[in-house]
Amino acid sequence: MLDGAVKSGVKQIIFPSSGGAVYGASHQETIPENHPQEPVSSYGITKLAFEKYLHLYQYEYGIDYTVFRISNAFGPRQNLHRPQGVISHWLNQILQNGAIEVWGNGTVVRDYLYISDVIEGMLLGLEEAAQNKVYNLGSGSGVSLNQIIERMRSVLGLAFDVTYKNQYHSDVPHNVLCIEKVQRELGWKPSVGMEEGLWYAFEHLKNRNV
C-alpha cells in the first residue's frame, strides 16, 4: 500500500492506530504518547509496525503522516461482526436476547470515545501542525465493564442478564489514554460524554432493528 502511495504521489496519510493495544500493560493512571510500546496482542503489534513504516516512508520518500492512537470507539454503524466494540455488541445482544456476556470479572478499565469525537479529531490530522506526529484520541477517563453495565441499566433503563466468562489472556487490566498533547497542539477535546453516547448508540440500534 505504501509503495502504491509513493507511485501515486500521495502527500499525506492519516492512520487510525490503537491506543488500547500498542502500549501493552501499564501501571500509569493515564498513558501518554511517549509511554513504552509493548503490545501483548498480534493486533497491537501490526498497528505499531505500520506506525514505524509510516515513519520510514516519510524519511525515505517525504510522505507526511499523522497517527491517531484511538481508544475504544463506539457509536452508530459499528461493525457487529468484528470482535472490537463491547458497547455496541452488548447493546445489540440486549436487544436480541436480553442478555450479555462479560469476559472476565468486569473490572477491566478502558477509555471509551464516541465516534463523532473520533472523526473530528482525525480531521485535525489534515492541519500542518499535525504532520508527522502521533496523538492519543480518548476521553481521558477510565470506565470499567461493570460500570458500563450499571450505566446501561440506569441511563437507558434496560433490564438484562449478565454471564461472566474466562477473561482473555491479552486483556490488560487498565488502559486509559492521556489526551493532553492533542488538546494542547490541535485544540481537540471530546464533546460527547459516556451517558449521551450510550443513548445515541442505543437509539440507532433500536431503530435499525425495528
| Ranges assigned E (strand) in the chain | 12-18, 64-70, 72-74, 99-103, 109-110, 112-114, 133-137, 143-144, 161-165
Query: What is the full per-residue pLDDT of the chain (210 aa) written as tens digits?
Result: 999 999 999 999 999 999 999 999 998 999 999 999 999 999 999 999 999 999 999 999 999 999 999 999 999 988 887 767 899 999 999 999 999 999 999 999 999 999 999 999 999 999 999 999 999 999 999 999 999 999 999 999 999 999 999 877 667 899 999 999 999 999 999 999 999 999 999 999 988 754
Q: What is the architecture, at CATH level 2, of domain 11-208?
A: 3-Layer(aba) Sandwich (3.40)
Distance CA 9, CA 4 (A): 9
Determine the Cα–Cα distance for residues 141 and 175; give it in Å rounded to an integer.
Answer: 10
Note whether 127 and 68 are within 8 A (CB).
Answer: no
Within 10 angstroms of residue 118's Cβ, the number of other Cβ atoms is 21
The enclosing H or E element of 61 equals: helix 42-61
pTM for this model (two decimals): 0.93
pLDDT at 175: 95
C-alpha cell at 76: 452508530
Element (H, E) at 134: strand 133-137
